[in-house]
């Protein structure tokens, strides 16, 4: 499982001109699920996302987590995070999980993040063509891969 986290002042995601998810201060999480992923990846990654100290606080610029600041999370599925560009100029997504495998893990991630955060999170719409708007705060952008545990 791969995730790109962006610390934001605000963000929203729209499908066909309709806003389906929006947050104020918090994190936008772009999530890519691959065939080899399992619920262990969901648990590890969700805990990492909610616990990362990437927000400023009284103890310094990197002293609080999204949970500690009362921030929000916008979770968006993005299979293109598993693009392979090794051959030629057309990306291949052969490692990205098919919907029958990816949807349950995406839904598990949504539920786990809500549980750890203690409140609902916003989401995009799985499989839809989405438009994402955000105000990156910092900017702060992190990449996490559950296979590398980094």
Say which of 19, 80, 131, 141 is annotated catalytic.
Answer: 80
pLDDT over 70 for what percent of the chain?
99
User: Quick one: average pLDDT of 74-95?
Assistant: 88
Say which of 6, 55, 64, 78 is annotated catalytic.
Answer: 78
Q: Cβ atoms within 10 A of the Cβ of 112, count? A: 19
User: Quick one: average pLDDT of 69-92?
Assistant: 90
Residues in the chain, overall count: 150
Residue 80: band (very low, low, confident or very high) from pLDDT cuts 50, 70, 90: confident
* Nearest by Cα to 142 from 1, 13, 27: 27
State both tokens at 96: 């990205």
Instruction: Look up 6 and say whether it is catalytic.
Output: no
What gap in Å lies between CA 117 and CA 35, rounded to an integer? 27
What gap in Å lies between CA 112 and CA 17, rounded to an integer? 28
Instruction: Look up 85 and say whether it is catalytic.
Output: no
Instruction: Look up 80 and say whether it is catalytic.
Output: yes
What gap in Å lies between CA 88 and CA 77, rounded to an integer? 26
* Confidence (pTM): 0.95
Say which of 6, 55, 64, 79 is annotated catalytic.
Answer: 79
């Amino acid at each position: 499982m791969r995730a790109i986290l962006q610390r934001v002042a605000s963000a929203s995601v729209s499908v066909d001109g309709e806003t389906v998810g929006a947050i104020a201060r918090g994190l936008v999480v772009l999530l890519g699920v691959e065939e080899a992923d399992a619920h262990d990846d969901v648990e590890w990654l969700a805990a990492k996302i909610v616990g990362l100290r990437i927000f400023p606080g009284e103890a310094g610029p990197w002293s609080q987590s999204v949970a500690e600041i009362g921030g929000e999370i916008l979770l968006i599925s993005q299979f293109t995070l598993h693009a392979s560009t090794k051959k030629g100029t057309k990306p291949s997504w052969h490692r990205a999980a098919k919907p029958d495998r990816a949807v349950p893990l995406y839904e598990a991630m949504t539920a786990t993040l809500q549980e750890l955060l203690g409140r609902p999170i916003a989401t995009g719409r799985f499989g839809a063509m989405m438009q994402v708007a955000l105000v990156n705060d910092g900017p702060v952008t992190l990449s996490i891969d559950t296979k590398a545990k980094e």
